Structure 1
Amino acid sequence: MQLVVLDMAGTTVADGGLVEQSFDAAARSLGVEPGSADHAAKLDYVRATMGESKISVFRHLFGDEERAQRANAEFEATYGKLVAEGRCAPIPGAREAIERLKADGRRVVLTTGFARVTQDAILDALGWRDLVELTLCPADAGGRGRPYPDMVLAALLRTGGADGVRRIAVAGDTSYDMIAGRRSGASVVAGVRTGAHGADALWGSGATHVLDSVAELPALLAGTAVRASESPETRT
């Protein structure tokens, strides 16, 4: 693989449930009462669509554009504030994995479903501004986040980092990461079990591999055996 496209929250970054906390703030700002059936249904949708562009999630939940934008602004402000308070950290071994991938001659791009301001807050909090050559949010790829393949393809176009889509590896922790990777044509679409969705959901959404952590990805791409979750098709 020549180009590796990595998700952030849940894959390379542990945020300790900040998405749900930030959703609570966004929902309250629009009058959704915590503990209500409406709140529970909306939270279930947020969990199911982890990895999707957050503004797309709020458009679905709140209907009109004005309310969606208000919810998204509150979500991003709350998430950024919590990040600035030190409420996120690298997934163990993630930075080392990125450095190993680069040392092996691979180009690495970090992607997110958050807005640019939130992505930058995470990068600053972790001291990752100079860790990779390119970071992308949905707005950097024409506005469409996952499950569309646009960010993966934008990573290819903007870095020139691979001869073609089959030389791309994608890694993420959600079903939407897997769908986006498959739609992009990447030949490796690795799910990791450090975030929102479990192995069955990752396999079911098209993962080619499911790993315990992104820390195992360099060995996988180098052709070294790693312990991976067994696909449903191979279980006995």
Structure 2
Amino acid sequence: MAGTTVADGGLVERAFTAAAAGLGVEPGSARHTEHLAHVRATMGESKISVFRRLFGDEARARRANAAFQEAYAGLVEGGLVTPVPGARGAIEELAGSGRTVVLATGFARVTQDAVLDALGWRDLVPLTLCPADAGGRGRPFPDMVLEAFVRTQAAEDVRQVAVAGDTSYDVLSGVRAGAGVVAGVRTGAHADPAFRAAGATHVLDSVADLPALLTGAR
């Protein structure tokens, strides 16, 4: 969601900084710079997985994740998230053409719901998924893509599934799931070289271009 259909203006990094400070990682320190680089590189991955690698033991990772969720939710409630231009229209166009749209995220459910509520998107799609809904591993594993395929029963073959996302982890999860279309979008964390290296079938300027891609107009 963030970076693909939702513009958050760098709130992930701001929330991470707040969470890390609570565990003794001072903003501006060499450790903070190193951690922030890792957060940027792993955008799209389950946040608890990121914190496990950064902070080592499970208890510290969970403390960091809880602090991140609280900080991000506070920023969201402050009105600091907006739809990516054209994203809602693209979702509605896809749904209107008979396709089933699922919104997936690396955030925890409480954070995802805060974003959906802030945008008024609770009823926009029939299914939203976070890592906990699909076994807990999140991206770059294929689990959420396959969970969407199984739960919606909207396709007979996983090759009929299209995946779009702004990170290499979005792309890799779609490739690993066997999706027929796996598109990187240029509105978020990663760029064309990362998308191509992960196996993207297409690269789009925005998710707003996805309907045209799927109808063969581009």
Amino acid at match of 1:13: V
Kindly provide the CA deviation profile for residues 131-189 of structure 1, in whole angstroms up to 9, marking residues without a partner as x: 00000000000111000000000001111111111000000000100100000000100
C-alpha deviation, 1:35, in angstroms: 1.1
Aligned counterpart in structure 1 of residue 62 of structure 2, from 49, 57, 69:
69
Distance in 2 (alpha carbons) for counterparts of 1:34 and 1:103? 46
Aligned residue runs from structure 1 range 85-100, under 5 A: 85-100=78-93
| Cα displacement string for residues 61-111 of structure 1 (whole angstroms, at most 9, x for unaligned residues) | 000000000000000110011001110000000000000001111000000
- 5 Å-filtered alignment, 1:39-58, equals 39-58=32-51
Residue 197 of structure 1 aligns with which residue?
Answer: 190
Mapped partners of 1:32, 1:137: distance in 2: 27
Equivalent of residue 84 in structure 1, options 60, 77, 86: 77
Determine which of 111, 134, 139 is the counterpart of 1:141. Answer: 134
Q: How does 1:1-236 map to 2 (within 5 A)?
A: 8-225=1-218
Q: Structure 2 counterpart of 1:108, which letter? A: V
TM-score normalised to structure 2 length: 0.99
Work out the CA distance in 2 between the residues paired with 1:118 and 1:161: 27
Deviation at 1:203, TM superposition (A): 1.1
Once the two structures are aligned, what percentage of the paired residues are identical? 72
Moved over 4 A (4+): none
Amino acid of the structure 1 residue aligned with 2:100: R
Structure 1 distance, partners of 2:69, 2:49, is 13
Q: Which amino acid aligns with 1:138?
A: P
Tell me: higher relative CO, structure 1 or 2? Use CA pairs within 8 A at least 6 residues apart. Answer: 1
* Equivalent position amino acid for 1:104 in 2: S
Q: Per the alignment, in what secondary structure is the counterpart of residue 107 of structure 1?
A: coil
Distance 1:192 1:14 in 2: 13
Shift of 1:36: 1.0
Q: How big is the alpha-carbon RMSD for the aligned residues of Structure 1 and Structure 2?
A: 0.5
Distance 1:110 1:120 in 2: 11
Q: Which residue of 2 aligns with 1:233?
A: none
Partner SS, residue 123 of structure 2: coil
Figure out how many residues of one structure are paired with residues of the other and give that number: 218
**CA distance in 1: counterparts of 2:137 and 2:154, whole angstroms:** 21
- Point out where structure 2 has 5 or more consecutive residues left out of the alignment: none
CA distance in 2, matches of 1:173, 1:116: 20
Structure 2: distance between partners of 1:24 and 1:110: 26
* Alignment gaps of 5+ in structure 1: 1-7, 226-236
Q: Following the alignment from structure 2 to structure 1, what is the Cα–Cα distance between the partners of residues 80 and 156?
A: 38
* TM-score (normalizing by structure 1): 0.92
